[in-house]
Amino acid sequence: MEKLKFERLTKRRKKLVESLKESTNDRGIVLLFGNSMSPMNYKDNEYRFRQDSTFMYFFDFYEHADLAATIDLDSGEEIIYGDELTTDDIVWTGILPTIKNEAEKIGINKTLPRRNLEKTIKEALKQGRKIHYLPPYRAEHKLELIELLNIKESEIEARKSLDLIKAVVNLRNYKSEWEVSEIEKAVNISYQMHKNAIIHAQAGMKEYEVKAIISKTAQEMGAELSFPTICTVHGETLHNHHYHNTLENGKMLLIDAGAEISTGYAGDLSSTLPISGKFTERQKLIYDIVYKSHYAAVKAMKPGVPFKECYYTSCREIFNGLKELGLTKGDADEAVHAGANALFFQCGLGHMMGMDVHDMENLGEVWVGYDGVEKSTQFGIKSLRLARPLEAGFVLTIEPGIYFIPYLIDKWKAENKFSQFINYSEVEKWKDFGGIRNEEDYLITPDGYRILGNPISKKLEDVEALRS
Amino acid sequence: MEKLKFERLTKRRKKLVESLKESTNDRGIVLLFGNSMSPMNYKDNEYRFRQDSTFMYFFDFYEHADLAATIDLDSGEEIIYGDELTTDDIVWTGILPTIKNEAEKIGINKTLPRRNLEKTIKEALKQGRKIHYLPPYRAEHKLELIELLNIKESEIEARKSLDLIKAVVNLRNYKSEWEVSEIEKAVNISYQMHKNAIIHAQAGMKEYEVKAIISKTAQEMGAELSFPTICTVHGETLHNHHYHNTLENGKMLLIDAGAEISTGYAGDLSSTLPISGKFTERQKLIYDIVYKSHYAAVKAMKPGVPFKECYYTSCREIFNGLKELGLTKGDADEAVHAGANALFFQCGLGHMMGMDVHDMENLGEVWVGYDGVEKSTQFGIKSLRLARPLEAGFVLTIEPGIYFIPYLIDKWKAENKFSQFINYSEVEKWKDFGGIRNEEDYLITPDGYRILGNPISKKLEDVEALRS
């Protein structure tokens, strides 16, 4: 295990350096920050520690806060900066692995106190060398960059290293066999979280009680949540982090939740279930359309196919399905390219997944999911996080959905928007329907795709069977 | 309810302004920040939102991120700064209460976009007025203060408003009847968390499985955790956030966990239980000493008595109890004032509790728990967070413990430290014992004290009974 880790991480760093040596004329120092503890309501009352994913990708240290690392692109020198426990600390924490020891395990023999980072950076700046850093998403790192580089907050973004971003994305986007096996562990825990919720949810419970079952399943399996759980009887509210509604028969419950395991890898699944145990006839009609849309998109996936095309495939299925119900009209292809389907399907089809549930979102979707091609600003497709041609090794989610958002329906209707494609008088009848989403995680293989983990069947009758 | 909230919050703000008008010659603007979302591994993957406690104390807004408020000490004008949802936002979030509406409910009629805070502050600075702010514990607020006040990060601490700190502490330290009833709700959920863990913990389980039961109980009761749970078979490791050990018969499990309810108030309890269901004879001996120490301290509490004296009472009980076992020797009073007891009891007896589990720790223990009197630097008592004379309305924890820390025992023994008080040869025999702590929450009343919530009996036989 230790030997494999050593090889895995040294290889990744070697590739990073090689790639940067090719891409950048401006050699200098790569600076990567590990995360700090995040204070909740005072400094020492902290959220659970989450290491930065890129830092983990190259150095591991899943449980070690306040680290930083530099790689000198000329000399190749790698340094980890961090403060070892003092004898006073050890009284409170017990004896823990040292930074030095952990660094040696991944092939780095130089560790220095955290404050020495300043020296390295100032020295490099004095020599006119470039500091390659990633865009910071934590304010602590912004503060540190302001001090280290002697710049204003407003300059941080402009001075980030595009070469570094591209080099990191180009490594992390392609999952190794080992990574896929780690992701599958997380996905399988995620399935168990959903299964327990599907089995135990019942009318009369509060949403937060189901959410509690989901968290408990993750934790008792030794995992954490990869993102805040969505667990709502209002599936149409896409950013829903309120959990005080009561589950009622006749309604559906939409769950979007995933696990993160201790190597940092994530799962991300969604389920929609009927609270009474049986879908109503109306619910069956929409569920069926989402189901068809889902697997039409899945079947379209293979290396070389732009994911944007899979998205359009899923949109067409939704548009045509709703057409059969009289909610839409006209040519599906025309409608979905114009964006008319976005009245019902406002978000993307899926996203890259890895150590981050939206993998590398902090590095920019335009690099991760668009390979540098500018994103559309059209409502609907602008929320598509992944569009580029698929390649073997990509891991991604598939999660089309249909959402009846009363506010949006009112707005579009008032504007008479896309009235050539939408029968508003029919749509009105579905305004209180809610929303349906199912979600699974896939690997792109040389031949096509493979679903990850041991999935729960999304078939309508199978979901009902699991509920009974 | 709404009317009571209006009165409660307007009264608090009125008192704050009155108190500052008396204490400060330097009238100006009070600036209070609400908290932002804290990013986990990228900007939009966030930890659960926790509003700043002082902000909640004066303005509520438990669920509303990115707010700020100013109070003009001359004109009395109160302003809430925050950005209302855009029509684009509402598509994703559904229709939510507006900031304007929520502000009116607490008697504030002026709300402005968040960016307007800059205008208010720059205007006041131009007029040479003081900006009263609290020491920030979140890096986002440091970044903002740097921009607003045009200062360096290193100047932030020095320019905090001591007058504001003292005024806030002087309000929040005295809990109203309503606050006590809220705290009791949180304490009772905390008791349920412990009860479920005590009942379900068993040999063969992992610590994280018990931790999962604790979190689930909080969540299914509609609460959150007030701090990261400690759940460990190594009770002697005081800062223990690792959960991968297996529960084994013959060992004890130490749990320190509490709930936070949606008004922001916290509970904080600890339990130590025998994994087999029965304490061993050795465990009984130490448990008994901790028990006696606990209630000796409790009985010493009443208005006017410095909490430091309660601490020394608990220390003497521990010292004398261990003397009977042959581990200590000499005069207890002399020993505990010298700090010899800190070999076994390294931390404090308790701390203020309210909206923060360590109430207002961000404002400085020297103000909250010491009323401005300098803290001792002596190992042991330096970790005592509360020392000042008790007053009616204080809410605090009582949590003495005995911890056999092998590293510390080796260290002191090698230094021959306090050898007049400690029989190291006897202590050696207990090095693998672990640690015991029990913890309860109390209100100081005009006559003495009252335990909060419906406690679980800490009696040895009652704990064993609950386990069976």
Q: How far apart are CA B426 and CA A450, in angstroms?
A: 63
Smallest CA–CA distance from A221 into chain B, residue: B209
List pLDDT tens digits, range B16-58: 999 999 998 778 999 999 999 999 999 999 999 999 999 999 9
At B1, the pLDDT band (50, 70, 90 cuts) reads low
* CB count in 10 Å sphere of residue A360: 25
- Do B50 and A38 count as a contact with CB atoms less than 8 A apart? no
Nearest-CA distance from A75 to chain B in Å? 30
At A187, the pLDDT band (50, 70, 90 cuts) reads very high
User: A-contacting residues of B 320-349, CB under 8 Å?
Assistant: 346
Chain A residues with beta carbon closer than 8 angstroms to that of B52 = 41
Edge-to-edge strand ranges of the sheet holding A230-232: A230-232, A252-257, A269-274
Q: Are A255 and A296 in contact (CB under 8 A)?
A: no
How does strand A130-133 pair with strand A28-33? parallel
Q: Which string of b and e fits A290-302 if b means at least 16 CB within 10 Å? A: bbbbbbbbbebbb
| Best of A35, A41, A236 to mutate (most B CBs within 10 Å, chain B) | A41
List pLDDT tens digits, range B109-120: 999 999 999 999
Q: How far apart are CA B401 and CA B346, in angstroms?
A: 9
pLDDT at B26: 76
Structure tokens given for B401: 């413990």
Smallest CA–CA distance from B152 into chain A, residue: A147
User: B-contacting residues of A 75-104, CB under 8 Å?
Assistant: 87, 90-95
Q: What is the 3-state secondary structure (H, E, C) of A192-226?
A: HHHHHHHHHCCCCCEHHHHHHHHHHHHHHCCCEEC
Smallest CA–CA distance from A147 into chain B, residue: B153
Q: How far apart are CA B260 and CA B49, in angstroms?
A: 13
Average pLDDT score over chain A: 96
Q: Which of A143, A244, A405 sits opposite B142 (nearest CB)?
A: A143
pTM: 0.96
At A254, the pLDDT band (50, 70, 90 cuts) reads very high
List pLDDT tens digits, range B441-464: 999 999 999 999 999 999 999 999
Q: How far apart are CA B310 and CA B396, in angstroms?
A: 12
Q: Are B278 and B461 in contact (CB under 8 A)?
A: no
Closest CA to A444 of A171, A53, A174: A174
Q: Using a CB–CB cutoff of 8 Å, tell me whether A151 touches chain B.
A: no
**H helices of B300-404, where?**
307-324, 332-338, 365-368
Q: Which of A41, A153, A227 sits opposite B52 (nearest CB)?
A: A41
Q: Using a CB–CB cutoff of 8 Å, tell me whether B151 touches chain A.
A: no
At A91, the pLDDT band (50, 70, 90 cuts) reads confident
At B417, the pLDDT band (50, 70, 90 cuts) reads very high
Q: Hey, which residues does B73 pair with through a beta bridge?
A: none
The contacts of residue B150 (CB under 8 Å, 6+ apart) are none
How does strand B269-274 pair with strand B230-232? unpaired
Give me the phi and psi of B255, to 5 degrees please.
-120, 130
Q: How far apart are CA A215 and CA A203, in angstroms?
A: 20
- Do B41 and A48 count as a contact with CB atoms less than 8 A apart? no
Percent of chain A clearing pLDDT 90 (strictly above): 95
> Can you point out the beta strands (E) in A171-246?
224-225, 230-232
| Best of B41, B42, B168 to mutate (most A CBs within 10 Å, chain A) | B41
Smallest CA–CA distance from B265 into chain A, residue: A41
Q: How far apart are CA A244 and CA B412, in angstroms?
A: 53
List pLDDT tens digits, range B89-103: 998 898 899 999 999
State the count of interchain CB pairs (< 8 A) between A and B.
172
Q: Are B274 and B467 in contact (CB under 8 A)?
A: yes
Written as one letter, the residue type at B208 is Y
At A467, the pLDDT band (50, 70, 90 cuts) reads confident
List pLDDT tens digits, range A188-235: 999 999 999 999 999 999 999 999 999 999 999 999 999 999 999 999
Structure tokens given for A454: 């041991």
User: B-contacting residues of A 126-145, CB under 8 Å?
Assistant: 137-140, 142-143
CATH code for residues A2-172:
3.40.350.10
pLDDT at B299: 98
Q: Are B381 and B339 in contact (CB under 8 A)?
A: yes
List pLDDT tens digits, range A407-439: 999 999 999 999 999 999 999 999 999 999 999
If DSSP codes are grouped into helix, strand and coil, which group holds residue A309? helix
pLDDT tops 90 at residue B2 = no
The ipTM value here is 0.96
Average pLDDT score over chain B: 96
Written as one letter, the residue type at B39 is P
- Tell me what the mean pLDDT of segment A169-196 comes to: 98
Q: How far apart are CA B80 and CA B67, in angstroms?
A: 7
Q: Please report, for chain A, the start and end positions of each structural domain, with discontinuous segments joined by +.
A: 2-172, 177-467
- Tell me what the mean pLDDT of segment B130-149 comes to: 98
Q: B330: alpha, beta or left, given left = phi > 0 and alpha = psi -120 to 50?
A: left
Chain A residues with beta carbon closer than 8 angstroms to that of B218 = 212
Chain B residues with beta carbon closer than 8 angstroms to that of A257 = none
For chain A, the first-to-last Cα distance in angstroms comes to 43
Distances, alpha carbon B7 to alpha carbons B10, B30, B51, B59, B71, in Å: 5, 20, 21, 11, 17
- Do B407 and A346 count as a contact with CB atoms less than 8 A apart? no
Tokens 């749970």 belong to B229
Q: Using a CB–CB cutoff of 8 Å, tell me whether B262 touches chain A.
A: no
Fold exhibited by the domain B177-467: Creatine Amidinohydrolase (3.90.230)
List pLDDT tens digits, range B207-223: 999 999 999 999 999 99
At A87, the pLDDT band (50, 70, 90 cuts) reads confident
Tokens 């000399």 belong to A75
- Do B212 and A206 count as a contact with CB atoms less than 8 A apart? no
